[in-house]
Amino acid sequence: MADIVASCAAASCRTLQMPAADCLDSLKIDPVMSPTENVVATTRHQAPAYGEMPEIFIMDRPQMTYQTIQTTPFDDQKPGTSGLRKQVGVFQGEHYLENFVQSIFDTQEALRGGTLVVGGDGRFYNRQAIQVILRMAAANGVARCLVGRGGILSTPATSCVIRKYQTQGGIILSASHNPGGPNGDFGIKFNTASGGPAPEKVTEAIFERTKEITEYKTIDSEDIDLDTLECFTLEGMHVEIIDSVADYAELMAEQFDFDAIRELIAGDFHMSFDAMHAVTGPYAREILENRLGAPSGTVMNGIPLEDFGGGHPDPNLAHAKELVAKTLGDNGLDFAAASDGDGDRNMILGKNIFVTPSDSLAILAANATVFPAYKDGIPGVARSMPTSQAADRVAEKLGIECFETPTGWKFFGNLLDAGRIAFCGEESFGTGSNHVREKDGLWAVLAWLNLLAVRRESVAEIVTGHWAEFGRNYYSRHDYEGVDKAGADTLMNELRGSLDDLPGHELGGLKVSYADDFSYTDPIDESVSYNQGIRIGFEGGSRVVFRLSGTGTVGATLRVYIEAFEPDPAKQQSETQEALAELIGIAGEIAHIVKFTGRMEPDVIT
């Protein structure tokens, strides 16, 4: 109990502007009563006006006892590349959420007596799931929970809070860029004490536990008020409702030159940020409008909604058409950006130009010394295997390390912790650095604003200048969504069976230099990940990659990545799909995409 009280004094009193002594005196916990007998007198701390002493009152709760609920395993709770994602109705099924949460508590012993961060992207079922998790946390011996106000915590902000307060981990409720609402998707994942997604050895342990679970623990209690900054005690567990934005905003001010960005925005500069009615809205309004002086309304769709306003919170050219339109023509915006459901993805746009995530990573790495946090340079950069090789060329010129990892941010964690890299990114609109252990949409947006403020060039000038220096990697991803899983599996298996015969052969006039099913040996812990995607590379640097996505919830999603390198500046202004037309044809023919998917064309092209 002393640890709980001390943590209240250290963290909650700062947030609530309460003197530590008052906070300590107001915790009405009887240390003599056993957990099953303790009648919880919950102390609720209202945030006072500045300079005023808080009004403290006690709200008695009915007697609560631990409950052990019998259950049976589900056979589909294996986490994907970023946690467990299913349709909302699946999570609402009896025991489904509880089984997975109990499996986290059963395998993560550090949480017993430790601190857990809980939050999500605000999608449908977020609030209800948080109440379930809090009751189960109390029953499983967690000492303290930090919960974002309104149940809101972006994924990068959760990582920030875990690291800042040195907690034992966090539970994030999100299905990222997947649609929300009662008929949409939901998700849950566990982040470790590093602030990053659980590595495979942790997710495997959780999955193994889900296959044998027979009971879970909870308590019988009323819901906790998630909307006011306050403290509760819940069966001896301390619960703090924290400001969702403050800690993250402070961290961003340490990363970037806010004075330079303010000066840029105050000038003849026009921008917009689309929060897509998802979690990033409150963060973007506080940082872009309140702290950096962007005009009110710069943040569009800034109120988080349970169904994301009926939209698809995926920041790409297909799902952010309104924003894209604002950048087109002579009067287009100078800069525009968007983020996704849980705030870890980003799309960057300039006047009449879209910056691919692969190019964005490479450009930021090439200009790292512009940012105050990296004024002395970066030790290395990493990209997921399907991401274009643009960052490799930057690393080679800078003389720094470059790593190619499987898809999934968790694979960057060891490299970041070991200090081998500082910047990392994925083609799926994810960019980040060592400031947290998650990809971070708003971080990338602020990085671009900082770059524009220092370089005093347009987005297009920066991008084309980068191509002229390093060469252009024409790049596109074709997604075939919700295809028959059996057909998709057959496609991948037949491709694997042909790999040994491909090197040395010509396909459409291009000579194959290598063909493999990518595997990765982590240079830090030497763990090995197999079957991470099929690569077919050609002489000259072009390649096609085939991979089944682990983020969908219905059927299978086949992703085909097409890349061609062009070193000649005179040939770097072609339209992307035209420049890649030959490779697109090769990819379709060699994988028999129409035959196995039944699709004549992809559902989404980015």
> Is residue 39's pLDDT more than 50?
no
Reported confidence tier of residue 284, pLDDT bands at 50, 70, 90: very high
C-beta neighbour count of 423 within 10 angstroms: 28
Under CATH, what is the fold of the domain 472-605? TATA-Binding Protein (3.30.310)
Nearest CA-CA partner of 345 in 382, 306, 376, 319? 319
- Percent of residues, the chain, with pLDDT higher than 70: 89
Are 170 and 161 in contact by the 8 Å Cβ rule? The answer is yes
Partners of residue 218 on adjacent β-strands: 67
> Is residue 337's pLDDT more than 60?
yes
C-beta neighbour count of 247 within 10 angstroms: 19
Q: Supply 221's token pair.
A: 């209690």
pTM for the whole thing? 0.88
Average pLDDT value for the chain: 89
Q: How far apart are CA 393 and CA 372, in angstroms?
A: 24
DSSP track, 530-544: ----EEEEETTS-EE
Report angle CA 300, 303, 306 to the nearest 5 degrees.
Answer: 125
Least confident window among 80-84, 364-368, 519-523:
80-84
Q: What is the dotted CATH code of the domain comprising 248-470? A: 3.40.120.10
Mean pLDDT, to the nearest integer, of 300-310?
A: 97
Report angle CA 394, 396, 397 to the nearest 5 degrees.
Answer: 65
Least confident window among 7-21, 181-195, 314-328:
7-21
Least confident window among 34-38, 222-226, 361-365:
34-38
Tell me how far apart the 2 most distant CA atoms of the chain are, in Å: 80
Are 62 and 168 in contact by the 8 Å Cβ rule? The answer is no
pLDDT computed for residue 40 by the predictor: 35
pLDDT computed for residue 550 by the predictor: 61
Containing 461, the helix (H) or strand (E) segment is helix 459-470
Reported confidence tier of residue 350, pLDDT bands at 50, 70, 90: very high
User: Per residue in 74-106, pLDDT tens?
Assistant: 999 999 877 999 999 999 999 999 999 999 999
Mean pLDDT, to the nearest integer, of 146-169?
A: 98
Which residues make up the CATH 3.40.120.10 domain(s) of the chain?
A: 66-244, 248-470
Residue 350: HSE in the Cβ half-sphere, 13 Å Cα cutoff: 16
Q: How far apart are CA 37 and CA 15, in angstroms?
A: 31
Are 424 and 401 in contact by the 8 Å Cβ rule? The answer is no
Are 27 and 233 in contact by the 8 Å Cβ rule? The answer is yes
pLDDT computed for residue 55 by the predictor: 34
Least confident window among 12-21, 195-204, 249-258:
12-21
> Is residue 12's pLDDT more than 80?
no
Reported confidence tier of residue 552, pLDDT bands at 50, 70, 90: low
Query: Coil, strand, or helix at residue 110?
Result: helix
User: Per residue in 241-276, pLDDT tens?
Assistant: 999 999 999 999 999 999 999 999 999 999 999 999
Residue 429: HSE in the Cβ half-sphere, 13 Å Cα cutoff: 28
Q: In 68-90, which positions are buried (b, 16+ CB within 10 angstroms) versus exposed (e)?
A: eeebeebeebebbbbbbbbbbeb
256's CB contacts (< 8 A; 6+ apart) are 371, 372, 373, 446, 447, 449, 450
- Residue 520, burial from CB neighbour count under 10 angstroms (0-12, 13-18, 19+): middle
- Bridge-based pairing of strands 543-548 and 556-566 is antiparallel
- In the chain, count H helices and then E strands: 21, 29
Query: Coil, strand, or helix at residue 475?
Result: strand
Active site residue 82: no
User: Per residue in 416-427, pLDDT tens?
Assistant: 999 999 999 999
Q: Which of 82, 103, 176, 221 is catalytic?
A: 176
Higher-confidence residue of 8 and 300: namely 300
Q: How far apart are CA 528 and CA 109, in angstroms?
A: 25
Reported confidence tier of residue 553, pLDDT bands at 50, 70, 90: low
Which residues make up the CATH 3.30.310.50 domain(s) of the chain?
A: 472-605
Nearest CA-CA partner of 111 in 72, 58, 167? 167
Nearest CA-CA partner of 479 in 386, 352, 390, 399? 386
Phi-psi region of 167 (alpha: psi -120 to 50; beta: other; left: phi over 0): beta
Confirm or reject CATH 2.60.40.60 for domain 66-244, answering yes or no.
no
C-beta neighbour count of 211 within 10 angstroms: 12
Mean pLDDT, to the nearest integer, of 106-129?
A: 98
Nearest CA-CA partner of 371 in 439, 263, 451, 458? 451
- Residue 118, burial from CB neighbour count under 10 angstroms (0-12, 13-18, 19+): buried
- Residue 62, burial from CB neighbour count under 10 angstroms (0-12, 13-18, 19+): exposed
pLDDT computed for residue 44 by the predictor: 41
Are 185 and 87 in contact by the 8 Å Cβ rule? The answer is yes
Nearest CA-CA partner of 518 in 407, 373, 377? 407
pLDDT computed for residue 200 by the predictor: 87
> Is residue 572's pLDDT more than 50?
yes
Least confident window among 52-56, 246-250, 300-304:
52-56
